[in-house]
Structure 1
Amino acid sequence: PAHWYGSSSALDSLLGISKTQPLQYLVSLSVAEQESLLGYQPDHPENPKVLRIAIIGAPNAGKSTLSNKLLGRKVFAVSKKVHTTRCSAQGIITDQDTQLVGILPLTVVFLSSRHNLEKSVVADPWQSMKRADLVVVLVDVSESFTRNRLHSQVLKCLSQFSQIPSILVLNKVDLLKGKTLLLDLVVKLTEGMVNGKKLEVRSNTIRPPGSEAPDSRIGWAHFREIFMLAAVNEEEVEMLKTYLLMQAKPGPWEFHSEVLTNQSPQEICNNIIREKLLEYLPLEVPYTVLQVWEEGPGGELVILQNLLVKKESHMKMLIGPKGEVINQIVQEAGQDLMNAFLCDVQLKLCVKLKK
């Protein structure tokens, strides 16, 4: 088995977390603790405000990464492979009298047969959109093949729920060469209109909003605001977060202020390990998970996870030469788990042939 043990002391120092100060947001270490936390009545103030958010975009636009940055903790899996996020989990931000609900990444797709997605995963974006107060459309402008138009299903989603306010977030703008290209993309993706006003820029791509047939449209003329995020700049994420908090309307909270996500700890663990498997394997190897959780003598979290595969070739692929692949997966997954749970983590992964 591959084994990893990490201490949170260095992480605590890096994040500025004091051992004597309780953390506001909790990611429970057991299902019972998480169910208890989710069962708490919302402790909203006298005049609470709430905003339900849906983050949508093409596959690999960076939705999970943005969600994690907004939450300040990695609770959603991130991978270069498409459809890493397969659950309809929610993230929650509570700031003074305001709660943001549904900081979750949604990939709007209808390719379930092609990518072997569960029907619930494909339907989730539409269900979440029905409850949203604000839609965040994320576009990775560093991807030259997809940046010049909104994904067709994103446009379909925006058209079907046109009554819901939406904003455009351009991701990785620091990787673009030249301001002119960025401005041209803004014009294309907004049809030259933002918040009901025509953009004062020169461009040959501007056409009258809505003049194209629905199938040929490349942008959306009804965005309320545009945000531009650099890959390494946290201040811009804070500006987006501040904007979201300001859009909240009077209404009751849905969760207790200590809740960060409605995912179970096992779901977080499974997704993080699956993320690493996707990163290091050439294809998605089918496997079954047997998982054991316990608390170590020093209060650390001990996780033993068996990955059961049906083929010996898959087993060799997972382990790698001299155990290099499985050891790398365990190292990175263990660090991510420690960052998620903010405690010492001892992770053991065993790959076994299913008989």
Structure 2
Amino acid sequence: MSAPTVASTRPKPLRIGPYASDTPVVLAPMAGITNAGFRRLCREQGAGFYVCEMITSRGLVENNPLTFRMIAMDPDEQPRSMQIYGVDPATVGAAVRIVAERDLADHVDLNFGCPVPKVTRRGGGAALPYKRRLFEAIVRAAVDNAGRIPVTVKMRIGINDEHHTYLDAGRLAADAGVAAVALHARTAAQRYSGTADWSAIARLRESLPAELPVLGNGDIFCAADAIAMVAATGCDGVVVGRGCLGRPWLFGDLEAAFAGRPLPAPPTLGQVAATMRRHAVLLQEHMGVDKGIRDMRKHIAWYLKGFPVGSELRRRLGLVSSLDELDELLAQLDPHQEFPADADGPRGRQGSPGRVVLPEHWLDDPEDPSVPLGAELEHSGG
């Protein structure tokens, strides 16, 4: 199969504070996915910003051991990007101050996009920008306590089609001094279903100062999608989430596409198998031998999407319990099998749209700055 070429507009480097990347791409933080092992695997493929799993501000402030394991960074990770979730300005400010004082990261992203019920029912994630004064207080607390560290925000269009918040939130974040704004072009009610509305990214780009980077997120599953998003919206870079599940080489494709070079040839099944093994080794180095190989299981189906490898071999790979067993099973794959033409596209959770779970009376007053009772999550994740 010949390597395709993707037309590129050669956008300017993406700059977040003092850090710049010629490839304007950010790996979206994904719970249970973007640990140090996976980030290294992706960084080995191409340039960009690679963000760790979301952690809670409360976990940092209370020195939760799980939180500090989740923010483990490779020695050569640069810049070190961390995403923080919080609903209380005081707690978020204290958490960011800890990051700055202990030199735990070089860049902090604030999560205002998570749509899962355990987050939104506390007023967090994608629910929070509806409360404009509370949102503003949280962002300002983070920026004021970050010192030299640039702070960015990631958000959604709004709670649902009746409650769009992204334009107000973008302006408030810009006024508070953030270094970039990222928009997942879906509402919380959509979750990961349907189609992202890229026109919202264009409207956000038009509404904010030209010098403030605006990043687009949603439905980027191949390099052509990223180029199309930039062309359609004028955004300054893209955020890639589900598109890289089982496809870490996507970052190499993106680097080539944004540089105007031909894309690398799609990997054969043998090359995919080698990437799977590398992923397993990195997970073991990061998480321990047993836990690392168990964590690898959830990635198997994503890697093999579209390849006709047989249900029994898929099943056995999905239950793999050691690196030796993984080697034995990978050896049974046909290494010359070409990458399936229809293997790209949506991966990971999609689900269905649904009602967003919110705190009682949440929609009554968008100007209410009060922190919901029991809003802060007790532990990291989500």
TM-score of the aligned structures, taking structure 2 as reference length: 0.32
Larger radius of gyration: 1
Bigger RCO of structures 1 and 2 (CA < 8 A, at least 6 apart): 1
More strand as a share of residues: 1
- Return the TM-score normalized by structure 1: 0.34
